[in-house]
Structure 1
Amino acid sequence: MNDLKNQRRSSLYCSQKWLLLFCLLLGLSSTGFSQPFASLSKKIAAYDSINTLTPREKLFMHYDRPFYKIKDTLWMKGYILAAGDYTITDSTGIAYIEIINTANEVVKRTAAPCYWGRFQSSIALNEDDFPQGSYTLRAYTNWMRNFGDSLLYESRFTVINPIAGEWNARVREVTYSGNRISLSAELTTNNLNPIAHKKIMVRVRSKNRNLLRLQGQTDGAGNLYIDTLLKGAIEHRDLVLEIADKEDLKLQIPVKTAGSSAIDLQFLPEGGSFIAGRPQLLGFKALNVYGKGIDVKGVIRNEEGKQVASFAAVHKGMGVVTFTPQPGGHYTAFPENGQPVKLPDPQSSGTLLQVINDPVSDSFRVIIGGTPDLNGRKYFFAATTGGLCFAKGPLTLSERPHRLSIAKRMPPSGITRLVLYDSLMRPVNERAVFIWHKDPLQLALTPDKPVYHTKDSVSLLLTVNNGKQQPVAGSFSLAVIDTSQVQINNLSENIISYMLLSSELKGAIEEPYYYFQDPTPQAVEALMLTQGWVRYEWPPQSFKFPREHTFRITGKATNIFNKPFVNTKVTAFGTIGKSSIFAMDTITDQKGVFTLEQFPYFTNDSVSMVIKGVNKKGKAFNIGLEVDEPVYPPYAGAASAFEHQNILLDTATARFVNKQVAIRKLIKKNGEYLDEVVVKTNAGISGSKNLNKSGGADQVINEKIMEKTPKATLLDVLYKQVKGFRQGSPPKSLRQMYMINSNMVRFIIDGTDLNFFYQPSGGGSNDYLLFLDSYLKYFSAEDIRGIEVMNHPRYNASYRSHYLSTAELMSTGPASIDFSFVEITTRTGSGPFLKKTPGMYLYRPVVPVIAKQFYSPRYATPDDKTMMPDMRTTVYWNPEIITNQKGEARVSFFTSESTGNYMILVQGINLTGGLGVLYQPLEIQKPGN
């Protein structure tokens, strides 16, 4: 560890040495830092110091593949590196992993223990938590949150249920003109069977406003045609057409109004300023309605219609165009297949920060200038890379622009940030430059034989060298994927592209590894001009979020007067899963604070604890316990209202679905195997007093759902989870109460009617509501084992006869209002009488879990029979391959029964900041070939 710290100090010394040389070459005296930029210079210096001694972290996740089917396992390895030099950080002990759906809800949160900047994890993608759809994988450490949530790692993957009744649409036409909307589409299931003669509901929505609702029906081939009028012309641009089966939303299709462009085209001037009379570089980017880059070309004309430039995208809808805007000019871009786009008007006054980055040159040039009215004004220039400022100093604008030459060998590979500040220390121009020294670790895999067959033993030798062809020790993860089932894009995100590029830029980058494979120079420039960089907060004097070295629980014990209980015993009783239990205790300090730590290793994340405090007499009387529960970062990602895979069945998804359907047919071949039969019933709530046999209910809210928000009140749970739950007043009644749609709600707690305890107190129409709230807000989700809702006669009939009075029964019927019964089962089972137990706290922490091991079958011969055909999509996963001092490691596994070829992806790090990636195909042949 001392070697790593010495390396960082050496890196800082080299940066400071280069800074001094750079300042002397520019003729910038040290006195220039005193006024007016002294505070800015000190701020940058302090930032450099913090980044050297306590650097921010970058986290990358290698997970095995981009597509999964229901019940697959997501295998992961995480790398936590210092943002400055990409060396491993050993001061973080816990990493958090979240999976977020398209509604921006965290459907799974787990944690993993970290060792020397690495961690492993796996998540089973069960059907209840992970229905078919697109998901965001987010990972972070507590320390990373000090620099802003925009720096947390994010990636997307897809879960597919090949036999589900999910819908897809092949849209032939969808248009909106004036107040007329038209749709022509073919609806199919996942396995491409037409959804024939199906009655559906169609809605047109603009943001949160419903504009149209009508019923339709598909024909025998699954075709759906809509041609109708909205009430009045709608000015909203972002229209979404929703297709639903009854009330269950199936599809969301974006609608572009007639006359609007089919592409979103933007032009962004270099450095952020567009100055008249000066040659200008503009980056442009064109996106389709799904947010993907689309090729575009066209011309730029002035206000007189004269062409001043032409443009054409060079990669993923991005490109660069150059021309000199004239004073008072107005310019418009005319793409060939889109609507005109107005460019920003040129400014008569401003500064310029321009870069000339010739690929064949050993340096890049920086040009800083401004309009004549700014001559004599002072500005401050700073260049940073890897979180360290390697060049900074004041300058004064003059008639001749400042021209700086920066050697490319000085900054390491990655994004270099150039910023020009004004006298108020505001950034007025910003520019990003991408430097790639082609210096990754050199990885190679050598197979032990030239050809492999199905159910064959494979042995591979991994060798790793640095740029000087010297062997290096390091940590690597390896995934072997059957490419007949899942296609692997060799240009997709990996540890090199993420650490050096994607983590520093705004927005998603399509095929980021392309920029490391001898890309078109204009493509790199266009990316730098259009996506800017991710901003992170200046390091504070004291960090709000500390590094978590180990898992611990802290809290406080107080009396009813909020005075601390000193030297009080606090005990934690815990269960791990269904069988393992543990107990531990501690003593509160002089402030009543307690700390529980040195927990056993957690093998799964299903952990429940009861934390209990007792006084010197061994009693819990008058003791209040509070636990410092963590607050996780909110997620407000840019997930669109619709996902491409759910609208147009793209090639990669279709191939995956068809292959999985073919595998199921293989499994059933010759009648040897049967399809899995899933019988779904309402999950019973343990201890429930449900009056219906087999626990019949219209809706069941189980313990698993409530564990996601344990501190929410029972009333909050009902509002969020029960469809149609609301506050209202039924017809012919002045009394406020809770309702489900048009039904009055009756609450039953552990078989006891809550109405039994109601005594009017003269509080008016809200009297009954206040009575209900006293109970519904008293209980929290962690007090409740389950909630069952009975709305319809099939389930509420038994409750009506058991709980309703004769008068209430006579007031209900087919033509009058009905009741919904909500059966609430508490953990104590004692009904609405028992107060919460003093001195106890129920806690379900997110604990760091030891990763499960990937199962790889072994075969004695290719003729070995298995219960089910071996058609693994991920053939092999090894998250921890350690190369020795010779830079070597050997891995071995067995192939599956699939005759498709494999793609092997290896990526990882050494101890001194080296990053390496290898994509290598592996051919599989049938026996006898």
Structure 2
Amino acid sequence: MLKHRHLLLLFSLFLLTSLNEFSYAQTNELNSKIINEYDKIREIAPREKLYIHFDKSIYLPVDTIWFKGYLVNTTLNNSSAISGLIYTELINADGEVVQTLALPTILGLTWGAFPLKEETYPPGNYTFRAYTNWMQNFGDTYIFKKEIKILNLDADQQAITQNGKNASKKNITNQLTNTRNKQEIDIQFLPEGGSWIADLPQKMAFKAIDKSGKGIKINGEIFDSKQNKVTDFKSNTLGMGYFTMFPKLDETYTAKVNFQNGLATKNLPKATAKGTIIALRSSKKSDSLIITVASSLSNQPLTLIGQSRGVICFTANINANDVGRTVRITKDIFPTGVSQILLLDDKKQILNERNFFLNLNDELKVNISSSSLTYNVRDSIPIHLKVSDYLNNPVEASFSIAVTDDNQVLKDSLSENNILTYLLMTSDLKGEVENPGYYFQNQSDEIYNDLDALMLTQGWVSYNWDITKKPLLKAEKEYTISGRIINIMNKPSPHAKIILLGKNKTTMMLDTLTNQNGEFVFDKLPLMDSASFVIQALNAKGKKGTLGITVNEFVRAPFILPKKSYIENNEVIDSIVAQQIDAKNEVYKAALKSGISLREVKITGKKIIRGSKNLNGAGEASQTLTEENLSQIPKKSLYDALAEKVKGFREGMRRKSNIRDYFVNGDLARFIFDGVEIDFFFSPTGSPGGDEYYHFVKGFLDYYNAEDIRGIEVLSNGYSFRYKNQFMEPLDDKTYSFIEITTKTGAGPFLKKSANMYLIKPLNYGNNKVFYSPKYNSTNKKEKLPDYRSTIYWNPNVLTNVNGEADVSFFSADKKGTYTVWIEGIDTKGGLGLRRMRLTIK
């Protein structure tokens, strides 16, 4: 049986065996063109997918989101060689990007963390996105997305205190039931292959969803215009199913639908007089697919194609007529995953398409074991991992492992995507796939039929691409800074000297020359967090001249806010909230008894600016203006806002000079925009008058209005120490007040770029945060302070050796109950593996 790692052998496979001894040409000119076009598409526009494994999906405001990324090419599912940089984002419910990390990859693997601070991440629902620059060429298709919830412990604590845990759970359950009673449903009817042709027997699929977008169980009957019953139908629990009909021309068919506490009617699509259909029949036990092509067209040559992951698996030529043609295809010419049958006309236009899913059971065999399945609290727990391929050969692979407390973390193997369900199925389907793990449980007849209903209703796979069109965005192998220099005549400036000055914890300077097209590039840059760069251009003679700089900056993928669910939460999440609150409060109580104060101190009288880069920390400033303060004067310039709202802000003459400057009381004022000091970009020309710096700063203060600003913090006296050490080189004995300005865009002081100068602030790489797992011994095992971790252990980089083995260990916490050990990963050939284990803590 051919497996996914042999997929490239399928290029030469075009032999079909017919049930009715109809003979097909193996190759012809049209087939060759189609095959060549698929080859060119893979060469011009190769695809890659990205899956992210998380430790959990519900977090406390003080937690850290741990994750690992697996970047693969879609053809073989092995590590992608296209991109080397992955962008990860957290987006709030208003569609604002709160934080972005740009993570380098090695062999398609990367991992990172988002530490959650309440001033940056207030409780609510967030969307986690991950993608490469190259993926943006294909729209929203391959961008990975996951909903993340950050709990509001104070609000949830109050609700549970008032109602009790059981009452709170009951209230949400009642809310869910009442909403079901009131809601309407949406039903779609979708003919197999996309065509609904009169006088031909066809399969009609259907899907019903409620207002929240979730599938809802239905049943009903189909009637014609004379109210004669044609057939009946019944969905599965997720609202999907199909039935077979023989539609008549000019007839109107109506579905009368029953659902819980409701009735609905819906007209079926009208049948057309002419066209083509394809029907796919397959049983769980059969090793073949049976494809039937029927047509009411006259003697038009048709081409039947089977494709998977952008690779042609077979082609066949068929002459269209009113007699159905049936062919049998062996299943093992397709890889595991979503594939597609296409019917094309002589102009290569798609007439019909039919998606299907095959599971050849060729995933990695992942076995995890421990010396026992039952442990005491604060015990050392060893885990042994042994991995082989489907032929039982040991494999070297990379895995990520998350161990979570079932009392505090909801881990549902059916409802959550994993590396198998996402890369092999849901990433190739449209819409939300509910309970994706259900389809990978086993291969019962019921699951097999439900899987076919899913393919009929949510199938999407498409690798079409105009081969005359080039992708607009480049694949990034590493972080680079590149751009183009033009002269005053808007023509390229070759041999221009480009100086890159960067500042993070240290200062760095690089230089290069532009090529004949005026292009420059700085590559192999070191990993830097919260860095800023200034690019300066000098012409071939080493003079400033009048040069324009264009930098190829990162363009964020567009984001569309997801539709809000009619009911945002469910009773299971409410139970998890209660458990996490209990755990947190028990830690506080134990700490108080032992004389340790851990209770979180609420800062009063200090205003927090969301997104502020304040070096002293949130709320640590001499004066703070919030968005609410500035909303009172939205159209005033930033200069006027400072003069009106900041005590002591003024302009005046520097001591013993005729140079104008800005002051806060007697201190010289220095301005920081989103963590970037504007003095970094001041390049004096030596013009007479002494006001050059004053006008440079004034340009920024007049450019912004108050409505552009999220907050202003003034750092004077003791609050200025860190700023002076960070930004003043060399240090002097003058006193300064630093004004930290947080813009709503967070983009820093990006004004119209001055000639010869350009500021760029690259995305953060993160801080290489490592999961802390306590180690208990005879000395600290009896510590009074309780250990109530919800994520017990997280390791994103578990590597098996040549024998396919790896060992890890961790210590249990103090809550008794059960843990879920969740491990998933990939080998170098694209083999995917997943395993779960349950441990008991007593």
Measure, in 1, the Cα distance between the counterparts of 2:815 and 2:330: 52
Deviations along 1:373-426, whole A, 9 cap, x unmatched?
x23233222110121011223321223201011111111111111111234433
Task: Note if contact 1:134-1:643 (Cα within 8 Å) is conserved in structure 2.
Answer: no
Shift in alpha-carbon separation, 1:305–1:587, aligned structure 2, 3 A = same
Deviation at 1:155, TM superposition (A): 2.0
Measure, in 1, the Cα distance between the counterparts of 2:768 and 2:22: 55
Measure, in 1, the Cα distance between the counterparts of 2:150 and 2:411: 16
Unaligned runs of 5+ in 2: 169-174, 616-620, 653-697, 715-738, 744-748
Deviations along 1:109-142, whole A, 9 cap, x unmatched?
2111111111111111222332222222221122
Task: Note if contact 2:280-2:289 (Cα within 8 Å) is conserved in structure 1.
Answer: yes
Shift in alpha-carbon separation, 1:356–1:21, aligned structure 2, 3 A = closer
Q: Aligned to 1:29, which of 8, 22, 25? A: 25
Partner of 2:575 in structure 1?
655
Trace 1:689-728 onto structure 2 (pairs within 5 A): 694-695=622-623, 697=625, 699=627
Trace 1:44-63 onto structure 2 (pairs within 5 A): 44-51=35-42, 55-63=46-54
Partner of 2:833 in structure 1?
916
Deviation at 1:341, TM superposition (A): 1.6
Shift in alpha-carbon separation, 1:414–1:550, aligned structure 2, 3 A = same
Deviation at 1:351, TM superposition (A): 1.5
Deviation at 1:159, TM superposition (A): 1.6
Task: Note if contact 2:387-2:394 (Cα within 8 Å) is conserved in structure 1.
Answer: yes
- Number of equivalenced pairs: 734
Deviations along 1:317-343, whole A, 9 cap, x unmatched?
212222323333222222223211222
Partner of 2:255 in structure 1?
333
Measure, in 2, the Cα distance between the counterparts of 1:497 and 1:394: 34
Q: Aligned to 2:314, which of 382, 387, 391? A: 391
Task: Note if contact 1:480-1:904 (Cα within 8 Å) is conserved in structure 2.
Answer: yes
Partner of 1:345 in structure 2?
270
Trace 1:724-873 onto structure 2 (pairs within 5 A): 751=649, 779=703, 788=712, 839-849=756-766, 851-861=768-778, 864=781, 868-873=785-790
Partner of 1:525 in structure 2?
452
Q: Give yes or no for the alignment of 1:596 onto 2:516.
A: no
State, as a whole percentage, how many aligned pairs show the same letter.
Answer: 32
Shift in alpha-carbon separation, 1:776–1:421, aligned structure 2, 3 A = farther
Task: Note if contact 2:399-2:826 (Cα within 8 Å) is conserved in structure 1.
Answer: yes
| TM-score of the pair, normalised by structure 2 | 0.78
Partner of 2:432 in structure 1?
508
Shift in alpha-carbon separation, 1:257–1:439, aligned structure 2, 3 A = closer
Q: Aligned to 2:211, which of 279, 284, 289? A: 289
Task: Note if contact 2:637-2:702 (Cα within 8 Å) is conserved in structure 1.
Answer: no
Deviation at 1:488, TM superposition (A): 0.6
Task: Note if contact 2:494-2:540 (Cα within 8 Å) is conserved in structure 1.
Answer: no
Task: Note if contact 2:387-2:800 (Cα within 8 Å) is conserved in structure 1.
Answer: yes
Partner of 1:906 in structure 2?
823
Shift in alpha-carbon separation, 1:540–1:95, aligned structure 2, 3 A = farther
Q: Aligned to 2:601, which of 677, 699, 702? A: 677
Task: Note if contact 1:70-1:126 (Cα within 8 Å) is conserved in structure 2.
Answer: yes
Partner of 1:665 in structure 2?
585
Measure, in 1, the Cα distance between the counterparts of 2:336 and 2:550: 48
Q: AA paired with 1:350?
A: G
Measure, in 1, the Cα distance between the counterparts of 2:784 and 2:450: 52
Measure, in 2, the Cα distance between the counterparts of 1:549 and 1:23: 50
Shift in alpha-carbon separation, 1:10–1:669, aligned structure 2, 3 A = closer
Measure, in 1, the Cα distance between the counterparts of 2:266 and 2:39: 42
Q: Aligned to 2:126, which of 115, 135, 139? A: 135
Deviations along 1:126-184, whole A, 9 cap, x unmatched?
22332222222221122223333312222222221212x47xxxxxxxxxxxxxxxxxx
Q: AA paired with 2:428?
A: E
Measure, in 1, the Cα distance between the counterparts of 2:841 and 2:176: 41
Measure, in 1, the Cα distance between the counterparts of 2:450 and 2:742: 61
Deviation at 1:8, TM superposition (A): 9.8
Task: Note if contact 2:73-2:79 (Cα within 8 Å) is conserved in structure 1.
Answer: yes
Partner of 1:361 in structure 2?
286
Measure, in 1, the Cα distance between the counterparts of 2:267 and 2:314: 37
Deviation at 1:474, TM superposition (A): 0.9
Measure, in 1, the Cα distance between the counterparts of 2:755 and 2:273: 72
Partner of 2:201 in structure 1?
279
Deviations along 1:670-706, whole A, 9 cap, x unmatched?
633453122152358989xxxxx942545279xxxxx
Partner of 2:480 in structure 1?
552
Deviations along 1:50-101, whole A, 9 cap, x unmatched?
5379742111111111211112111111111121121222342111112223
Deviation at 1:826, TM superposition (A): 11
Shift in alpha-carbon separation, 1:668–1:745, aligned structure 2, 3 A = closer
Q: Give yes or no for the alignment of 1:625 onto 2:552.
A: no
Task: Note if contact 2:45-2:465 (Cα within 8 Å) is conserved in structure 1.
Answer: no
Partner of 1:495 in structure 2?
419
| C-alpha RMSD over aligned residues | 4.0
Q: Give yes or no for the alignment of 1:68 onto 2:64.
A: no
Shift in alpha-carbon separation, 1:10–1:318, aligned structure 2, 3 A = closer
Q: Give yes or no for the alignment of 1:486 onto 2:409.
A: yes
Measure, in 1, the Cα distance between the counterparts of 2:357 and 2:121: 38
Measure, in 2, the Cα distance between the counterparts of 1:504 and 1:779: 46
Task: Note if contact 1:441-1:916 (Cα within 8 Å) is conserved in structure 2.
Answer: yes
Partner of 1:458 in structure 2?
381
Q: AA paired with 2:413?
A: N
Shift in alpha-carbon separation, 1:744–1:825, aligned structure 2, 3 A = closer
Trace 1:48-127 onto structure 2 (pairs within 5 A): 48-51=39-42, 55-127=46-118
Q: AA paired with 2:292?
A: I
Q: AA paired with 1:636?
A: I
3-state SS, counterpart of residue 394 of structure 1: strand
Q: AA paired with 1:264?
A: D
Deviation at 1:192, TM superposition (A): 6.2
Measure, in 1, the Cα distance between the counterparts of 2:753 and 2:46: 46
Shift in alpha-carbon separation, 1:571–1:255, aligned structure 2, 3 A = farther
Measure, in 1, the Cα distance between the counterparts of 2:705 and 2:498: 24
Partner of 1:570 in structure 2?
498
Unaligned runs of 5+ in 1: 1-6, 167-187, 196-220, 223-251, 688-692, 702-721, 728-736, 755-773, 791-822
Partner of 2:185 in structure 1?
263
Partner of 2:667 in structure 1?
none
3-state SS, counterpart of residue 151 of structure 1: coil
Partner of 1:381 in structure 2?
304
| TM-score of the pair, normalised by structure 1 | 0.71
Shift in alpha-carbon separation, 1:14–1:616, aligned structure 2, 3 A = closer
Measure, in 1, the Cα distance between the counterparts of 2:463 and 2:115: 33
Measure, in 2, the Cα distance between the counterparts of 1:375 and 1:563: 59
Task: Note if contact 2:92-2:126 (Cα within 8 Å) is conserved in structure 1.
Answer: yes
Measure, in 1, the Cα distance between the counterparts of 2:786 and 2:214: 38
Measure, in 1, the Cα distance between the counterparts of 2:378 and 2:643: 61
Q: AA paired with 2:478?
A: T
Q: AA paired with 2:533?
A: M
Deviations along 1:514-544, whole A, 9 cap, x unmatched?
1111252221111011102143441645433
Farther-moved stretch of structure 1 (12-21 vs 889-898):
12-21
Shift in alpha-carbon separation, 1:307–1:440, aligned structure 2, 3 A = same
